[in-house]
Amino acid sequence: MKTRIISAIVMLPLLFIVYFGGVWLRMAVVVISIVGLHEFYNGFRAEGVKPCEPIGIASVPLLYILHTICMNPDQGGTGADPWLMYMLWLFLVVIASMIYGFNVEERKTEDMAATVLGIVYVVFFFHFAVLIDECEYAKNYIWLVFIIAFCTDIFAYFSGMLLGKHKLCPKLSPKKTVEGAVGGMIGAMVFSLMFGNFFLEPGHAMNVHFILMTLIGSVVSQLGDLSASAFKRKMGIKDYGNLIPGHGGILDRFDSVLFVAPYLYFYIALVLPKIM
């Protein structure tokens, strides 16, 4: 309990970064992506897999250089199609990872696969937080990424501790319960509705799409957490690191965000323009 309170205090600067957004958020995402990627690759190394960390680290500045090129001309970019650039980035990442495997005597297929997986899972998935922040008609929704992910985790923990009886996925995470999962969804919904009523257009928080976005987002958040647990089980580690007291490494804290950010971005991009 004490360590979780300390962790919450440590994470307070994130509120200011999200509030200012823009270049501050991009810089924070770059740092978290690099640290998270290092932790993820360390997990693979624990089970004898050898991903190429230099390729992974190089992919981070490359992604944001291409992202800057795609920005509006008045922001210093060319206005190029961003998804075309992302496909170029992915192509380069895959090619580099395959070249890494040319040394067939020392490297295995899983070394190449782990290199690509880490880049897509950590670097690209987290990039969606930046895309939401730069979405003019839904900029404030960046807060929902962290409200849904963190509130689901916090309320799932406490409700599971107080009420938990039925195991959710005992082979992945023995302490997680069905009651905790439901409590996490309720907690995320309550705080999301509070945020929506104060910071979004009047009445928008009660829109059926907003409610669905939050409820499904809480499920997605828990899937992100369970996916990280599955990786750690296979890797034979308890935590990805020990950077954050009570939570382990950066990736242990942001594993849910890595799923929630892409989910919310696609909901915003595909659904919100039709109802706003």
Identify the weakest region by mean pLDDT among 73-77, 165-169, 218-222. 73-77
Which DSSP letter does residue 135 get? -
User: Residue 11's pLDDT band (boundaries 50, 70, 90)?
Assistant: low
User: Residue 263's pLDDT band (boundaries 50, 70, 90)?
Assistant: very high
| Residue, of 183 and 245, whose pLDDT is higher | 183
C-alpha distances (whole Å) from 184 to each of 69, 200, 270 are: 39, 23, 26
pLDDT above 60 for 120: yes
3-class DSSP state of 166 = coil
Q: Distance between CA 34 and CA 186 in Å, rounded?
A: 33
Question: Cβ neighbours of residue 227 under 8 Å, at least 6 residues apart?
Answer: 255, 259
Contact 132, 141 (CB under 8 A): yes
Q: Write down the pLDDT at residue 245.
A: 62
Query: What are the φ/ψ torsions at residue 108 (nearest 5 degrees)?
Result: -110, 170
| Residue, of 211 and 121, whose pLDDT is higher | 121
Q: Distance between CA 39 and CA 222 in Å, rounded?
A: 20
Residue-wise pLDDT for 158-216, tens only, equals 898 888 788 888 888 878 888 999 999 999 999 999 998 888 776 666 678 888 899 99
- The total of other beta-carbon atoms located within 10 Å of residue 85's CB is 18
Question: Cβ neighbours of residue 123 under 8 Å, at least 6 residues apart?
Answer: 33, 37, 56, 59, 60, 63
- Enter the tokens of residue 264: 């919310």
Which DSSP letter does residue 173 get? E
- The pTM for the full model equals 0.90
- Enter the tokens of residue 193: 């509705």
Instruction: Enumerate the domain spans of the chain.
Output: 2-275
Q: What is the largest CA-CA distance in the chain?
A: 63
Across all residues in the chain, what is the average pLDDT? 88
Q: Write down the pLDDT at residue 174.
A: 79
Residue-wise pLDDT for 16-38, tens only, equals 888 888 899 999 999 999 999 99
List, as own/partner pairs, every contact residues 17-26 make where C-beta atoms lie below 8 angstroms and the sequence separation is at least 24, other chains included: 18/133, 18/142, 18/143, 18/146, 21/133, 21/139, 21/142, 22/133, 25/129, 25/130, 25/133, 25/142, 26/64, 26/130
Q: Which position has the token pair 């190449």?
A: 112
pLDDT above 60 for 10: no
% of the chain surpassing 70 pLDDT? 89
